[in-house]
Amino acid sequence: MDNMPVAVLEGGALGLPVVSTTVGGITHLLKDGETALLTSDGDVEAMVAAIQRLLRDPDLAGRLSTAGRRLAERSSWEQVRPQWEALFASLLIQADGRESGRDDTGPSVRRR
């Protein structure tokens, strides 16, 4: 239904600081240095450096852990369900309008 990186949210929910690559929708969900440490896909040295940085800087690890937990809470089903329901309701209204000839997307063509 969506492309949410669930493993990232699960890690955050467990309080784990996240280190990830910038693939897929990761950059729409995570902010480098705020909610995770992000590296380029395939850059093994950068990934190793990010993990070592967390191990050397427990304050950073703690901040990322807290931010990840908050992100997971904001992304819970209880939080996002109303957004999905509103989206589906608006799509149903649009579909109903098209079926009854009330489509507001442009001029309608009627046969006589």
Looking at domain 6-99, does it have CATH number 3.20.20.140? no
Q: What is the dihedral of CA 11, 17, 21, 25, to 10 degrees?
A: 50
| pLDDT exceeds 50 at position 31 | yes
In the block, tokens 């690559």 appear at: 21
Confidence (pTM): 0.67
| pLDDT exceeds 50 at position 1 | no
The string of pLDDT tens digits covering residues 37-95 is: 999 999 999 999 999 999 999 999 999 999 999 988 887 777 778 888 888 899 998 88
**What is the spatial distance between Cα 46 and Cα 60, in angstroms, rounded to a whole number?**
17
